[in-house]
Structure 1
């Protein structure tokens, strides 16, 4: 089976592990069309191409990039004119990593209708807040809802948003994952190591970094932070105020991240909810944590996790960690103190997190789930008589509400 995946935007490195896992299936061939991706993603594509003969990646130019508007919804891709991209053989299934309202999603669906009308399509969905985009994005969203065969939300909340916004088609929840070959428990640390709270991500106000630093100071514990952002100066000031107790590392590749996680006694994701205005200044977009992938990575390493009650953090953590009210520094300090003073609880959460990560979020399990969905769609489509498929194509060509 030949699967074509399209993806846009700079924050795409975490999909590489999924592509790697998919390519390990001997009867699955994978082609990726990508635009506006990072240099790291490009290097990873080259590595996958060397490792898997059945993997191909085509880097496409874009007409409008994320850097111009600040949002991936506005990315427009150059697919190669009327002849379309060079994809051979034709795909059996097309999977779009991008929300329904994205311009690139609309482009891909039009391309499928023109070049691969019999290939079923699936669409990723992560939005966990009902966002009312300005025109023309609602039209693009409704067009996608009509055209795709199945949508694959990453959480139950994302599925509920689809229903609220009017999608009535098939769904299968497929979460983000973790490569348990890389993210795995390290040897037990020296028992003399001080209790250390960790954070991985962007140093931004909505990530709750400053709340974490205040809570750690209340508990009088060490801190390890990995990442960077607009709060770099605040983090540096905290490090100077507590010399040797606050350690900061820059962005690192995921192959190096497990060694940094191993320095942590607990990982915290203290996210806050904000309203973003980076597409049009008069359009506020509520932002809640859509998943919190670093939580899964920490759990896979046997690190206990603590998260705020924002967005999908409680869903990802489940019963394998502790939750506190977002923005409540005292409550966060209470959770940290509990883990510091009760090693048995910390050990129980470590074991529960490891079971949850390997049982629910391992990329190989997620690849299996995707493989089943795609094969079922392909088999159902191939079971439809050719005249019926031709009639469907004619109806498709008459559908020009948005494509005109």
Structure 2
């Protein structure tokens, strides 16, 4: 086929049901006339107990197709069992050069796309970073989809290795998550809210996300009880671990230093972040949990707030120079770090701008769109700009490394 026609891409992505989260990364394609991008999203989506209705299909840079799905919820495998009854007709109508799946390779929709793709090259975007044998028929589905994948978009080196171990041998482009810089801005870039509470004395920490044991909040509480300097913590989120956290807070006598509040809008989360010295993400590795990205990291850093992260999964790679890393499940080490940075305002002053730079150079929507375009062009055999060639086919640890557990709202 002549390259006179723009490269036509069909991107199938349930996370893009929401404009605020999943669709913003497609906007830069409005300035890419060589790309004709079509986005397929479910009309409704079930996630964390909520039913989400797709935003209207009028986004810049992409033609959005809002389509009904079957099997929208089916127990613990609900995210991976849905299919689009109208996908065959749409693909025949569009005749894409590339089909891009923002779905895991064992999902039924991935199988559906691989069977219907015809001449299109398949690009797969993956997050799962724990290698485990899947029950039938999902293991067979994964191997089939990976055999028919022309290019892999990977959130982390661990996610790449999972696909390699299950038979994928092709090129890889690393991809991160973009952050909404219109919402997550440094405090000095937005007007002060007269309703903001006064800042407590000492080091001010924050956590945003689901309240589950694997997120390591118990370690943060234990560390706070050990510090010699005053440390306060605000927790934004909800989850099954909340009663245990409240009991732990009372047992450690931290009731006047820890604030818990429920889910908040992104703008409200940004205001909370403006009052912090550091955000914490202390996820613990388990047989079922290894942090895949930690989107709240880049949201905090976009606000100029450095992050204290654990060694779990992709956290160190995403944090980069914009924070500090401590061993998992080690309150003593965390307490030592908190005392150190509490007494060193210069260190905090250095990490704050570094965190902002980390986002501006690695986690903008433009950077994510560039990674998408690179993979699509490569899969279709089109010319890739010279400066992008070195990341195609690379398995090296990349500066661009989704959390398997949600962040500041149930939809992430």
- Provide the TM-score with structure 1 as the length reference: 0.80
Note closer, same or farther for the CA distance 1:38–1:14 as it changes in structure 2 (3 Å cut).
farther
Task: Answer with 154-163 or 7-16: which moved more.
Answer: 7-16
Query: How is 1:126-275 mapped onto 2 (pairs within 5 angstroms)?
Result: 126-187=127-188, 194-219=202-227, 220-237=230-247, 241-275=253-287
Give ranges in structure 1 of 5+ residues lacking alignment.
276-285, 382-404
Q: Is the 8 A contact 2:15 2:21 kept in 1?
A: no
Equivalent position SS for 1:257 = helix
Q: Give the aligned partner of residue 102 of structure 1.
A: 107
Note closer, same or farther for the CA distance 1:270–1:31 as it changes in structure 2 (3 Å cut).
same
Note closer, same or farther for the CA distance 1:41–1:360 as it changes in structure 2 (3 Å cut).
farther
Deviations along 1:334-388, one digit per CA (max 9) or x if unpaired, are 122222111111111112211111101112111122123323433549xxxxxxx
Structure 1 residue corresponding to 2:299, chosen from 285, 297, 308:
297
Once superposed, what is the RMSD of the aligned Cα atoms? 3.0
Give ranges in structure 2 of 5+ residues lacking alignment.
1-6, 193-197, 384-412
Q: Give the aligned partner of residue 324 of structure 1.
A: 326
Q: Is the 8 A contact 1:10 1:38 kept in 2?
A: no
**Matched residue count:** 362
Deviation at 1:93, TM superposition (A): 2.1
Deviation at 1:201, TM superposition (A): 0.9
Deviation at 1:150, TM superposition (A): 0.5
Q: Give the aligned partner of residue 311 of structure 2.
A: 309
Deviation at 1:51, TM superposition (A): 4.6
Counterparts of 2:30 and 2:156, CA distance in 1: 24
Q: Give the aligned partner of residue 390 of structure 1.
A: none
Highest RCO, 1 vs 2 (Cα 8 Å, sep ≥ 6):
2
Equivalent position SS for 2:373 = helix
Equivalent position SS for 2:55 = helix
Structure 1 residue corresponding to 2:66, chosen from 54, 58, 70:
58
2:89 is the alignment partner of 1:77? no
Q: Is the 8 A contact 2:9 2:38 kept in 1?
A: yes
Note closer, same or farther for the CA distance 1:10–1:243 as it changes in structure 2 (3 Å cut).
farther
Deviations along 1:253-278, one digit per CA (max 9) or x if unpaired, are 33432112112111010101123xxx
Task: Answer with 325-334 or 159-168: which moved more.
Answer: 159-168
* Higher share in helix: 1
- Provide the TM-score with structure 2 as the length reference: 0.78
